[in-house]
Structure 1
Amino acid sequence: MIGIVVSRADPASVHIGDHLLELTDWERVVDDARSDSEGGGTVHRTPGFELRSLDDLHLDLEGVADVFAAPEFVVFASKHAGDTGPLLTAHHTGNFGPAEHGGADGELATACPNAQARVLNALREHAPSGYDVGMEGTHHGPSDVGAPSMFVELGSGETEWDDPDGARAVARAILDLRGIGPYRDRQVVGFGGGHYVPRFGRVVRETDWAVGHIGVDWALDAMGDPSENRDVLRQAFERSGATRALVEGDRPTLTDAIDDLGYRVVTETWLRETAGVSLDLVAQVECAIGSVDAGLRFGDRAHEAGKAINGITTVSLPAALLAEAEGIDAAATRAAVERRTIAFDTDHGGSRLAGEVVLRETDDLAEIVDAFADVLDEEYETVERRDDALIARETAFDPTAARDAGVSEGPAFGRLADGEAVTVDGRTIEPETVHERRERRFPLDEDNDTPRTEGER
């Protein structure tokens, strides 16, 4: 069950609450165990949700989960105030530093990253025209809710707080949380950046990683020296269900403190590349071939493999064959590797294949070589697959032979190169006399990988 908190001191909260009650059927029950001002009195229940109204502002409602019957998480339907125009937003609560707006100094509430990711998607789906959707860094109280929690907000001024379309969008997004749990198997803590955290919003929007607590620039400044506030940092991880952090900007003191606590700082590239891949498999492959940040990328078979695999095979692709295929069609060559590998190494910032690959079975290497042969077939007349090599054959124009035959560079030279006979000083020069039959051998044995070219006219 998800607990929904409506504050009577917040006009936007009341407005959102009214739309929640209109959008679905609710059972009205009476709770005589507590006063109406403290969430008792009339209580509304519908499958998956319980809605209670309280007199106090949300940020002062410490321990409010106790008014519900063991909620999975709590949603505060709230206003957002700021100079940001029409905005629908969500965030977690707590204070990295002094508590200036509710909660306690250096105390963070328990986050619900999976639910926040889902509600942000729902806000984008339901947002009225003219509204932006975003997430915010962790700020204000309460810091001890008693269950995982988040604020879902309608902003950013009185016009929007009274807007029925905006309030209805927030209400619909909250109801879309039915059946959603507070956590998933991958969430990350964020540090750095501005209050409206576009980078972390992008991670939530474009990967399968959720984001828990976010200590933005001003919050980290308020916290002070990370090495002296490790307890706050530890809370950020523990209360987000996270073991990894994404840090925006150069913050060596912070990253050192995170490392000392036993957590791992990762990059946005790492989060993107590991999306959809078992984290057990990620760890196994990084040990075998190197880190994502050093160039490791995951192939399609990593997404099919599930958890870590017994007996993965790491091999090097035939270097000369790889270089030739990339030179002919780099995109097709990379696609051939991506489709048939668990992982592969890259260089030049991930733009070029480095040659080392992780395979599920050794037979997969033969499939890659066959795909490379198809790429070479775009350039060569024939490509023959042998056990130890690919043999590529072509008939190529020999400029030196053309000059020796008396053909100067110019239009006739070009026509001859294109396979057309030309006449020079009354003599007909046939194209086959200035074309050479060439054969290139690309070894498949990595110990004997030097290509050999042979030719005859």
Structure 2
Amino acid sequence: MIGIVVSRADEASVHIGDHVRDLGEFERVGEDAYRADGFALREFDDLHLHLDDVAAAFDDPEFVVFVSRHSGDTGPLLSAHFTGNFGAAKYGGSDRAVAPACPNAHREVMGSLREHAPDGYDVAMECTHHGPTSVGAPSMFVELGSDEAEWEDPEGARAVARAVLDLEGVSATGDRSLVAFGGGHYAPRPTRILEDTDWGFGHVAADWCLSDLGDPREHRDQVAAVFEASDATRAVVDGDKPALEAEIENLGHRVVSETWVRETDGVPLSLADDLEADVATVDDGLRFGDVAEAYDSGYLVVDLPPELLDAAHAVDPDATVEAGLQTALAVATDENGNRLAGPAAFPDKDAYEDFVDRLAALLAADYDAVTRENGDLEAVREAFDPAAASERGVPEGPKFGRLANGESVAVNGEKVDPTDVSRTERITVSVDRRERTRERVRRPSDAEGKGN
């Protein structure tokens, strides 16, 4: 059951609550209490940020949603955020405390706000700010803003109500939650990540929140509390914050880049950890293949033959990388992901053989013959030999180009055929699997994959 909190001291909250009851077909079960399938709604006289331990008014809610107004200079806005104070409590709650977050529900409500937003409204997530900090269950604010015109707008209130009701059956947390530190109040980097990946966010500490926090080395317990309240072990840090990053690492958590977050979209987290240990780190060029999504078994780590990669990249670098991404769980790359470079992990031997066959097909487009025998791949072609052409008196320039294209030319009254100035190019590569087998232990999160 999801608890919905309405404050009579907040006109926008009252309007949103009216639409929630109307759309959700709530029935009155008490003086200030209403119920519908999956939801309970309670009305209170006090402002939300002063409602401590409000979850006790509900019957063991999964999480609590405060429907509220948003005040600011942003124009029409629908928003959602968690509550807490990184310094002194100026607007409810306790000093240096954060409330338990519901990152999975927050991710879902943000998507619904974008879906239902009326024309002219923006949608944003905000950083963690104000109270209450003692709720009794995971919670979040979902808001209508940013001035009286919007607080009274029935379309805006109805959009927030629909987004809240879309939360029916949604769990408060999942296994793909991040904490964010740094950046602006409206969290541009977390907002991008939230929209583009399957990751969600717990608490977000904007730069002004970190100013309230002070030296993270002196407030390590509060940094730890942010992770605990967010059910997260990974953080995205915006800007240069070495002291904070060191404390995060000291707590046993991990600072990850936006590149890492995007690359692990849909990939089971334990698989990502294993592949980073066995192949390369994401920040050093690891890219996950199409088959990595929801994969939960062992794999082969193969040191790809560099001569084969060089030859294939010379023919078609994009197709070479694509062959890796379509057959492997993960490949090491360089040149910003534009070149395969070293080891790769494949689900099994057949997948590796498929990869080699694809590269052989690429080479066949540029070579006269490509064969595989006794563990070797051989590619042979007749190629234009500039030195031989010069010896036959062919001047550099257009005639070189015609010979290279397979045309005959005349030089001093004599015909020179392409075969007269060609050389045999031969590439022989051992494609036997130089493999390291990884037997993975399936973990509970492996089966969940994308969409948690």
Common topology (TM > 0.5): yes
Letter in 2 for 1:68: F
Q: TM-score scaled by structure 2?
A: 0.91
- Pairing 1:180–2:170 present: yes
The answer (yes or no) to whether the contact 2:7–2:13 under 8 Å persists in 1 is yes
The answer (yes or no) to whether the contact 1:318–1:446 under 8 Å persists in 2 is no
Letter in 2 for 1:71: P
Report how far residue 412 of structure 1 moved.
4.2
The answer (yes or no) to whether the contact 1:390–1:441 under 8 Å persists in 2 is yes
Letter in 2 for 1:366: E
Q: What residue number does 1:284 align with? A: 274
Q: What residue number does 1:383 align with? A: 370
Identify if the C-alpha distance between structure 1 residues 278 and 416 changes in structure 2 by more than 3 Å, giving closer, same or farther: closer
Identify if the C-alpha distance between structure 1 residues 260 and 368 changes in structure 2 by more than 3 Å, giving closer, same or farther: same
Runs of 4+ in 1 over 6 A off after TM superposition: none
Look at both structures and tell me which one has the larger radius of gyration over its CA atoms: 1
Residues 372-429 of structure 1: CA deviation (Å, up to 9, x unaligned): 1011122112211222322212222223333333333344444343323333443333
Q: What residue number does 1:333 align with? A: 320
Identify if the C-alpha distance between structure 1 residues 293 and 403 changes in structure 2 by more than 3 Å, giving closer, same or farther: closer
CA RMSD of aligned residues (A): 1.9
The answer (yes or no) to whether the contact 1:9–1:56 under 8 Å persists in 2 is yes
- Pairing 1:356–2:346 present: no
The answer (yes or no) to whether the contact 2:12–2:151 under 8 Å persists in 1 is yes
SS in 1 for 2:85: coil
Identify if the C-alpha distance between structure 1 residues 427 and 243 changes in structure 2 by more than 3 Å, giving closer, same or farther: closer
In 2, Cα distance between equivalents of 1:136 and 1:16: 19
Equivalent in 277, 293, 304 of residue 317 of structure 1: 304
The answer (yes or no) to whether the contact 1:318–1:445 under 8 Å persists in 2 is no
Report how far residue 446 of structure 1 moved.
8.4
Report how far residue 61 of structure 1 moved.
0.8
Letter in 2 for 1:379: D
Letter in 1 for 2:422: H
Residues 187-196 or 437-446, more deviating: 437-446
Q: What residue number does 1:369 align with? A: 356
The 5 A counterparts of 1:38-49 are 41-49=31-39
The answer (yes or no) to whether the contact 1:114–1:181 under 8 Å persists in 2 is yes
SS in 2 for 1:432: helix
Letter in 2 for 1:396: A
Residues 240-269 of structure 1: CA deviation (Å, up to 9, x unaligned): 111121111111111122222222222222
Identify if the C-alpha distance between structure 1 residues 327 and 233 changes in structure 2 by more than 3 Å, giving closer, same or farther: same
- Pairing 1:25–2:15 present: no
Equivalent in 248, 253, 268 of residue 258 of structure 1: 248
SS in 2 for 1:238: helix
Q: What residue number does 2:153 align with? A: 163
In 2, Cα distance between equivalents of 1:427 and 1:225: 84
The 5 A counterparts of 1:1-400 are 1-30=1-30, 41-306=31-296, 309-310=297-298, 312-400=299-387
Give unmatched runs, 5+ long, in structure 1: 31-40, 448-457
SS in 2 for 1:205: helix
Q: Which has the higher contact order (CA 8 A, sep 6+)?
A: 2
SS in 2 for 1:305: coil
The answer (yes or no) to whether the contact 2:302–2:433 under 8 Å persists in 1 is no
Report how far residue 74 of structure 1 moved.
0.6
In 2, Cα distance between equivalents of 1:102 and 1:201: 26
Identify if the C-alpha distance between structure 1 residues 145 and 415 changes in structure 2 by more than 3 Å, giving closer, same or farther: same
